[in-house]
């Protein structure tokens, strides 16, 4: 395949509950450390769930003025920070000459919910005259993408895919398509989410989705374990710089991995429950493998959606078995949500970054807290300790409320 028909990852920026940059987040993931703890963002004493994956020591004014920070919801602030790192790590400079060929696709599942909660409280306490004139732009899901575009001068296509927890996986997939279609030379693609607010926690509690293991925060997210009782909400942002391969090579860019394919499919089944047997996830994985020109035996690692909910982990396991056949039992799998919590609309991008870094460094990060076997989840989930070895290709799955299924395939770069 010609270099004009290949897309590579040249930069990664991460802000997660494990660290304020990619290096720290990745190091702690490989070490099997948890970023989960008691909620400090608000008083959660009366809530069923009082734990989350919060980002510590994040200071938006380190890269924004105080005035700019006040006009941006936290999810937008996180996106700006991640993108700054992604562009810097790729040694990519936006200029008048290339700005129109650089697109920006930063997804979010629920956007500015922290601002929404704060302003609703203000409305009830002090009346409509006290509402911020920036309320509407601060809560819009597309605003992280918009603000990043404005701050970095990115003048190509700009929008925010919204497909619940598959959102940023879809953003990366659509970034791939943009480049292959000739509509961009480079794409800032990823996701940002800052959902740790009273309304979001209460809402997910009412849906029965969150872990209530408040006594053991670091052990609460336990994908594929028989004792799992729900996911742990997390916040964060990750952006990747995608480039057409010949464009990256021409400017001497560092190539982390190749983005080989994107597969997506809908369950058309239920607003929150995955389709029985993981039928939609099965099709998404199959599409991605076919587009990548790979067989199941070629995949060295699967980063599972692995939310730590009963149905998701069971059905995703079944989907992997359907697609991979006998290879399912030989392929290392892990859920890094066991350490970061579930970053909702930003999860797919964080886990895409994990796949690229896993290929680069030859290491599969673990699934921590996997202690009690579940007969419905009987694959190789890389329990508690990372595994090292050469990785030729990796797959990342993202599955969202509404029946959205996305699968991305990455390859080790070979010119």
Q: At what angle do helices 22-31 and 347-361 cross, to 10 degrees?
A: 80
Residues 244 and 266 in one domain: no
Residues 139 and 202 in one domain: yes
Residues 203 and 278 in one domain: no
Residues 277 and 230 in one domain: no
pLDDT, residue 2, reads 78
Is 256 inside any structural domain? no
Residues 227 and 371 in one domain: no
Contact 360, 376 (CB under 8 A): no
- Could you tell me the two tokens for 88? 């810097």
Burial of 411: CB neighbours in 10 Å, binned 0-12, 13-18, 19+: buried
Closest CA to 348 of 210, 118, 193: 193
Is 370 inside any structural domain? yes
pTM above 0.95, yes or no: yes
| Structural domain that includes position 239 | 3-250
Of 231, 250, 269, the domain-final residue: 250
Is 255 inside any structural domain? no
CATH number at residue 286: 3.40.47.10
Catalytic center residues: 165, 305, 342
Closest CA to 331 of 409, 275, 242: 409
Residues 70 and 169 in one domain: yes
Residues 194 and 66 in one domain: yes
Contact 414, 393 (CB under 8 A): no
Closest CA to 78 of 170, 154, 155, 192: 192
Of 200, 220, 250, the domain-final residue: 250
Q: What does DSSP say about strands 102-107 and 158-159: parallel, antiparallel, or unpaired?
A: parallel
Of 250, 276, 298, the domain-final residue: 250
| Cβ count within 10 A of residue 414 | 8
Give Dmax (Cα) for the chain: 64
How many residues comprise the chain? 415
What are the two backbone dihedrals, phi and then psi, of residue 131, each rounded to the nearest 5 degrees?
-70, 140
Q: What is the pLDDT along the chain (415 residues), one digit of tens a residue?
A: 777 789 999 999 999 999 999 999 999 999 999 999 999 999 999 999 999 999 999 999 999 999 999 999 999 999 999 999 999 999 999 999 999 999 999 999 999 999 999 999 999 999 999 999 999 999 999 999 999 999 999 999 999 999 999 999 999 999 999 999 999 999 999 999 999 999 999 999 999 999 999 999 999 999 999 999 999 999 999 999 999 999 999 999 999 999 999 999 999 999 989 999 999 999 999 999 999 999 999 999 999 999 999 999 999 999 999 999 999 999 999 999 999 999 999 999 999 999 999 999 999 999 999 999 999 999 999 999 999 999 999 999 999 999 999 999 999 999 8
Number of domains in the chain: 2
Q: What gap in Å lies between CA 4 and CA 108, rounded to an integer?
A: 30
Residues 269 and 246 in one domain: no
Is 273 inside any structural domain? yes
Residues 293 and 405 in one domain: yes
Contact 134, 110 (CB under 8 A): no
Q: CA angle at residue 170 from 167 to 171, to 5 degrees?
A: 85
Residues 291 and 349 in one domain: yes
- Could you tell me the two tokens for 394? 């990796």
Residues 111 and 193 in one domain: yes
Residues 294 and 366 in one domain: yes
């Amino acid at each position: 395949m010609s270099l004009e028909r290949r897309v590579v990852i040249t930069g990664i920026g991460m802000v997660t509950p494990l660290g304020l940059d990619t290096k720290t987040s990745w190091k702690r993931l490989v070490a099997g450390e948890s970023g989960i703890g008691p909620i400090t963002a608000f008083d959660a004493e009366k809530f069923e769930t009082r734990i989350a994956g919060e980002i510590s020591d994040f200071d938006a004014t380190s890269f924004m003025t105080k005035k700019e920070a006040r006009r941006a919801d936290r999810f937008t602030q996180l996106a700006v920070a991640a993108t700054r790192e992604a562009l810097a790590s790729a040694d990519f400079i936006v200029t008048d000459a290339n700005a129109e060929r650089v697109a920006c696709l930063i997804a979010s599942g629920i956007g500015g919910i922290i601002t929404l909660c704060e302003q609703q409280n203000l409305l009830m306490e002090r009346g409509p005259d006290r509402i911020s004139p920036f309320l509407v732009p601060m809560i819009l899901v597309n605003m992280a993408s918009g603000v990043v575009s404005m701050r970095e001068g990115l003048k190509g296509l700009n929008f925010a895919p919204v497909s619940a927890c598959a959102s940023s996986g879809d953003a990366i997939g659509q970034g791939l398509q943009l480049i292959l279609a000739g509509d961009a030379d480079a794409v800032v693609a990823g996701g940002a989410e800052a959902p740790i607010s009273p309304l979001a926690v209460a809402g997910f509690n009412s849906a029965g989705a969150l872990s209530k293991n408040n006594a053991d925060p670091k052990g609460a997210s336990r994908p594929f374990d028989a004792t799992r009782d729900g996911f742990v909400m997390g916040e964060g942002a990750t952006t990747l710089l995608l480039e057409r391969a010949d464009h990256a090579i021409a400017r001497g860019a560092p190539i982390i991995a190749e983005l080989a394919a994107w597969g997506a499919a809908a369950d058309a089944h239920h607003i929150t429950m995955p389709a029985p047997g993981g039928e939609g996830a099965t099709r998404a994985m199959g599409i991605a493998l076919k587009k990548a020109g790979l067989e199941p035996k070629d995949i060295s690692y699967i980063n599972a959606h692995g939310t730590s909910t009963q149905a998701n982990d069971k059905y995703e396991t079944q989907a992997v078995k359907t697609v991979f056949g006998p290879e399912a039992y030989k392929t290392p799998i892990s859920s890094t949500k066991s350490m970061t919590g579930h970053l909702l609309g930003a999860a797919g991008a964080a886990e895409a970054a994990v796949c690229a870094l896993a290929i680069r460094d030859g290491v599969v990060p673990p699934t921590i807290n996997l202690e009690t076997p579940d007969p419905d989840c009987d694959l190789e989930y890389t329990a508690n300790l990372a595994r090292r070895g050469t990785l030729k290709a990796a797959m990342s799955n993202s599955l969202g409320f509404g029946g959205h299924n996305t699968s991305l395939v990455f390859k080790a770069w070979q010119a």
